[in-house]
Amino acid sequence: MTKLSFLDLVPVIDTGTISQSLANAADLARHAEALGYGRYWVAEHHGMAGIASAATAVVLAHIGQATSTIRIGSAGIMLPNHAPMVIAEQFGTLEALFPGRIDLGLGRAPGSDQRVAHALRRTLASDERQFPQDVLELQAFLAGDEQLGITAVPGAGTHIPLWILGSSTFGAQLAAMLGLPYAFASHFAPDALDEALDIYRRQFKPSAQLAEPYVAAAFNSFGADTREEAELLASSQQQAFVALRTGNPGKMKPPLAGYKDSLPPNARAILDHVLQCSAVGTADDIAAGLRAFVARTRVDEVVIASSMYDHDARKHSLALTMSAAKAL
Q: What pLDDT score does 290 carry?
A: 97
**Model confidence pLDDT, tens digit, residues 95-115:** 999 999 999 999 987 656 677
Q: Does domain 3-326 have CATH number 3.20.20.30?
A: yes
Per residue in 34-81, pLDDT tens?
999 999 999 999 889 999 999 999 999 999 999 999 999 999 899 988
Q: Report phi then psi at 99, rounded to 5.
A: -55, 135
Q: Which helix (H) or strand (E) holds 260?
A: helix 259-262
Q: Could you read off the pLDDT of 214-270 as tens digits, one per residue?
A: 999 999 999 999 999 999 999 999 999 988 888 888 999 999 999 999 999 988 998
| Averaged pLDDT score across all residues of the chain | 94
pLDDT of residue 124: 57
Number of other residues whose CB lies within 10 A of the CB of residue 257 = 10
Q: What's the pLDDT tens digit per position in 300-328?
A: 999 999 999 999 999 999 999 999 999 88
Any idea where the domains of the chain sit in the sequence?
3-326
Distance CA 137, CA 160 (A): 14
For the cut 70, the answer to whether the pLDDT of residue 8 exceeds it is: yes
pLDDT band at 123 (very low <50, low <70, confident <90, very high): low
Q: Are 303 and 41 in contact (CB under 8 A)?
A: yes
The predicted structure's pLDDT at residue 223: 98
Measured in whole angstroms, the distance separating CA 126 from the mean position of its chain's CA atoms is: 23
Distance of alpha carbon 60 from alpha carbon 179, whole angstroms: 25
pLDDT reported for residue 126: 59
